[in-house]
Amino acid sequence: MLTYQISGPLSEPEGNDPVDPFDIHYMGANSRHLAHELIVAAFKKSGLTKAEVAKRLGWKDRSRISKLLNVPANITVETLGELLFVIDGSEPNYSQNWPCRAQHGNGGHPEWLKVPGATTTTSTSPAKVFYSQEAKAKITRTSEAAL
């Protein structure tokens, strides 16, 4: 029985194999969510009204702003940049992150689980273990057989 959470369904792309469509769509949705969070945070911090943001953009109807603030939309990077700039004069900061390589957790194990002579590292985020597709399949088969 596992006493820790197996990582999410993401598997890092390798070789020339097609990437799982779920992974592709997940990353697209996650990017859309992050852009939406940037816009909403800037808007809330600014103290502006939707009508004021629409006016700064030269839009006659504030309903477009409402749509962008209410739901993570599939906006262009141009729209993201324009919105942030008119809201508070900022621009998006682009960087890469490798979620499948991230080391999560305190890196340690309970004392009773430690291997003599082994060393552990510490960090501040929750533990996550990443498995290959073959390992995930084996775990699934083993779990199903136990039922």
Assigned domain for 37 exists: yes
Confidence band, pLDDT 50/70/90 cuts, at residue 20: confident
3-class secondary structure, 26:
helix
Question: Which residues are CB-contacts of 23 (< 8 A; sequence separation ≥ 6)?
Answer: 9, 10, 11, 13
Whole-structure pTM value? 0.62
Residues of the domain holding 75:
22-88
129: phi then psi, degrees, rounded to nearest 5: -120, 135
Q: How many domains does the chain have?
A: 1
Residue 120: per-residue pLDDT: 47
DSSP class of residue 107 equals: S
Q: Which long-range contacts (CB under 8 A, 24 or more apart) does 55-61 make?
A: 56/86, 56/87, 57/82, 57/83, 57/86
Q: Is 108 exposed, middle or buried (0-12, 13-18, 19+ CB in 10 A)?
A: middle
Rounded distance between C-alpha atoms, residue 50 and residue 63, angstroms: 8
Domain containing 67 — which CATH number?
1.10.260
Assigned domain for 135 exists: no
Confidence band, pLDDT 50/70/90 cuts, at residue 113: low
7-18 confidence digits (pLDDT tens): 456 788 888 989
Assigned domain for 49 exists: yes
Q: Average pLDDT of 138-145? A: 60
Assigned domain for 11 exists: no
Q: Average pLDDT of 30-42? A: 93
Q: Average pLDDT of 79-99? A: 92
Assigned domain for 82 exists: yes
40-62 confidence digits (pLDDT tens): 999 999 999 999 999 999 998 88
Residue 143: per-residue pLDDT: 55
Question: How much is the mean pLDDT over the chain?
Answer: 77
Q: Average pLDDT of 86-111? A: 77
Q: Find the Cα–Cα–Cα–Cα dihedral 79, 81, 85, 87, rounded to 10°.
A: 50
Quote the percentage of the chain above a pLDDT of 70. 63
